[in-house]
Amino acid sequence: MNKVTVLGSLNVDSILRFKRFPKPGETLPLTGKSVAGGGKGANQAIAAARAGAQTTFIGKVGQDQEGTFMVQQLTESGVDDRFVQHSDAAATGSAFILLDASSENRILIDGGTNQLVTAEDVEQAQSVIADSTFLIAQFETPIAATQRGFELARAAKQKTILNPAPATDAVPAELLAVTDLIVPNETETETLTGVHITDEASMVAGAQKLQALGVANVIITVGSKGAFWMRGGEHGFVPAFKVDAVDTTAAGDTFIGALSSVLQPDFSNLAEAVRFANRASSLAVQKLGAQPSIPTQAEIVAADQTK
């Protein structure tokens, strides 16, 4: 069983549904609204835990009902919450997900306590990082905290997975130097490398540029098309499973969490792990909400056996 530690965000998601996005100055009625647990970090941790990994979370929530709710979402999925701190300096993070009838989403985020996570907070979890198969992080918490976590993982000879989202072109070279696997989507790849992703040739070019920045292993996710992988000089493309999507909000996070649950620390089964992650993601997009949509290991295996 892989041991996965996730450093990242916890957000309470407010999901607003409507037929189409309003034009400037236009008022439209909602067709529905709901609240669910979210945050890229929490989504990835829950996906890893439900897919079978022993999972621990490092993050911060407010001293409020939303914080209590978010910790409950973690623990109910079997995620160890020992390193989730409660702060009275800000409110728990929140996100507002705008979802139209075609399942296209736009997301607005208030980082709240996610922005208060420090390198010192991460150092308190040094022992669990040193015992983890993988440490995963994203960019919804401060990069300085992520860099410190990755340095601790590298010192302990454990592997790191970076999801560079939301996209930024200000990724320190020092962070990439201690990143073992990077998992951007096509937009994030272009932001990091300047390569516009249109086909497999451009994926190869983008991945090679990421390798030149110091990351040996690369996965570029391309939504409903699938995912491209590169390990050393080897590469391939794993098509997505075709399904009718309802809500794509947690698709990428489910992919990364599920991937970490089955990936070998030497990345020797990268292609097979990508396929497993694709299957998990295909199940997540068929349900509404981020964390409520994330499948269990049994559901992923059953889907593979029946389709």
Catalytic residues: 253
Q: Is the peptide bond prior to 265 cis by the omega test (within 30 degrees of 0)?
A: no
DSSP 212-251: HTT-SEEEEE-GGGEEEEEETTEEEEEEPPP---S--TTH
The region, left, alpha or beta by phi > 0 then psi within -120 to 50, assigned to residue 250 is: alpha
Helix orientation angle between 270-284 and 251-262, rounded to the nearest 10 degrees: 140
Task: Mark the binding-site residues, compressed into ranges.
Answer: 11-13, 39-43, 140, 185, 221-226, 247, 249, 252-253, 278, 284, 287, 289, 293
Amino acid at 209: K
Count the neighbouring beta carbons within 10 Å of the beta carbon of residue 152.
22
Task: Mark the binding-site residues for K(+), compressed into ranges.
Answer: 247, 249, 284, 287, 289, 293
Residue 120 CB contacts under 8 Å (≥ 6 apart), including other chains = none
> Which residue is listed with tokens 């990936």?
263
Q: What is the DSSP letter of 124?
A: T
Task: Mark the binding-site residues for substrate, compressed into ranges.
Answer: 11-13, 39-43, 140, 253
Residue of 180, 178, 189 whose CA lies nearest to 143: 178
Task: Mark the binding-site residues for ATP, compressed into ranges.
Answer: 185, 221-226, 252-253, 278
